[in-house]
Amino acid sequence: MLSSFLIQLQLFKKFVALFTAILMSLGLMPGKSLPKDGIKADAIMSFTNNTAGSAAGLVSITANYDGDYQVYWGDANGKKLTTFAASGRTLLYSEFADITVSNGTGEETMNDFLAIPPQAETILLYYGDTLLDTDDVPQNKKAAVSKQTYSFGSLSDVHFNRYDSTGGDDSDISYPRALNLLDEMGVSLVALAGDLSNKGEASSYESFRKYNEEHEFPVYTCRGNHDCKSKFTYEAWKANVNVGIFDGEELPEGVLARSDNGFDFVYSGRETHGDIFIFLSQYRDTYLPGVEILAQDQIDWLQTQLETYKSKRVYLYFHTFLSAYQGDLRMSEGNIINDYGYFYPLVYVRGNSDEEQFRELMKKYHNVVFFNGHSHWAYSMQRYNSGLNITDYNGRFATMIHISSVGAPRTTDLLHPIQTSNPAKMSEGLYIAVFPHYILSYAMDFVNNKILAYATYRVAKW
């Protein structure tokens, strides 16, 4: 009862704030006047560990004016941090924290995986365009400079033939744009978590191959639920997706294992420096109790591969995410509950035989980074769930990283009770920089060529 009351109280406060903002915008209520001597504010970042490059901790703000403040990483000159792609393109970093100050104070707890970018020297507090406070990144927290081994891109939910807000297929814009930026970043390969199509159309896979062939790096994927729909044919898939992987009796170069089902395979080419990529495809577009989306022989095959490569760094690509390990099962990585109690209902069904076995494998093999897509939630939606984008449930699981959608990231807020897809307006994915003992997972905004600092993570389990 108390929990329900607190939720209703929080929702009421949000509606009051929204109503007040609307009245102010219409000039029916005067805005709060600024302090005569200007806005004064101070940010303090308290770290919870001594690991260099880790931003885990708490950001606290005290200010003489209530409102929304942003915290950025900065360079040695106190300017907002930028970096350069291998091509020379300048990339901006977004804020890494967005904090509301009420009654003079505000705070936000950082995700335990949040990374301090290697180039960061300062921490900057902004209100709008005004810089209010600058602090140095502590010397012991600066990321150690080490040589990057290689890099790769992680994408999901391209969805050719699904969105047409521009008068044509929106993915004809979003997908090649993402590949182009990843190419400029110098990636060695691109891996996807499925959903290339709307209903499994052959034309979707033909478009996928066409854009892939404009680049020299390989592109591999698993099959998602939309790739299991009514128009799917294996002939169109094999001809255009993971081309050559299942041709001939001998394994192609870089392919260490492949399943008899014609979809699942293990890749470790020269460019991956011994790292292992596993692509696992679901075979059914149904999310119901008692209905499996992985066959038993797929689970057995996966277990064999994970045991074989248990001493390696393994990246597993499977389209659908798990429900939460404990507590509210709706608040999993990949999922949210918004202001109205809405959540994305199509998680891997808890209690199904294949789901239980898959979950046990993720508990056992902590050398795995499990990349998934499916929900489309934009990275910024972590405001509703701090574990939306990444979690290992306090070390109990393999690290699970959720990939937003290239085709149409979803958003929700007080004005949009369910969800809003944003084809053409938004496009997100990941750039992964690989180092000998850790990886940096950079969330990318492919529309604005920006690194989303609030969803940039450091993973080190090897």
Sequence spans of domains, the chain: 1-31, 37-141, 150-426
Strand 265-267 versus strand 255-258 pairing type:
antiparallel
What is the pLDDT tens value at each position of the chain, 462 positions in all?
444 444 455 556 555 555 655 554 455 545 578 888 899 999 999 999 999 999 999 999 999 999 999 999 999 999 999 999 999 999 999 999 999 999 999 999 999 999 999 999 999 999 999 999 999 999 999 987 778 999 999 999 999 999 999 999 999 999 999 999 999 999 999 999 999 999 999 999 999 999 999 999 999 999 999 999 999 999 999 999 999 999 999 999 999 999 999 999 999 999 999 999 999 999 999 999 999 999 999 999 999 999 999 999 999 999 999 999 888 888 999 999 998 888 787 889 999 999 999 999 999 999 999 999 999 999 999 999 999 999 999 999 999 999 999 999 999 998 888 899 999 999 999 999 999 999 999 999 999 999 999 999 999 976
Dihedral-angle region of residue 189 (phi above 0 means left; psi in -120 to 50 means alpha; beta otherwise) = beta
User: Residues, the chain, total?
Assistant: 462
Distance of CA 174 to CAs 74, 170, 367, 398, 444, Å?
30, 6, 32, 30, 13
Q: Among residues 389, 380, 386, which one has the least CA distance to residue 411?
A: 380
| Distance of alpha carbon 433 from alpha carbon 150, whole angstroms | 6
Sign of CA dihedral 235, 238, 244, 246: negative
pTM of the entire structure? 0.93
The two tokens of residue 364 are: 């056992």
| DSSP-derived secondary structure for 80-118 | BPEEE-TTS-EEEE--SEEEEEBTTEEEEEPPTTBBPPT
Q: Class of the 37-141 domain? A: mainly beta
| Distance of alpha carbon 330 from alpha carbon 69, whole angstroms | 29
The residues, any chain, with a CB within 8 Å of residue 177's CB and separated by 6 or more, are 427, 446, 447
Q: Class of the 150-426 domain? A: alpha beta
Rg (C-alpha) for the chain, rounded Å, is 23
Beta carbons of 373 and 401 less than 8 angstroms apart? no
Q: How many CA atoms lie within 13 A of 175 on its CB side?
A: 32
Strand order in the sheet with 255-258: 255-258, 265-267, 276-279, 314-317, 368-372, 399-402, 390-391
Residue holding tokens 């958003």?
A: 411
| Distance of alpha carbon 439 from alpha carbon 383, whole angstroms | 24
The two tokens of residue 94 are: 């977004």
Residue holding tokens 């392919």?
A: 255
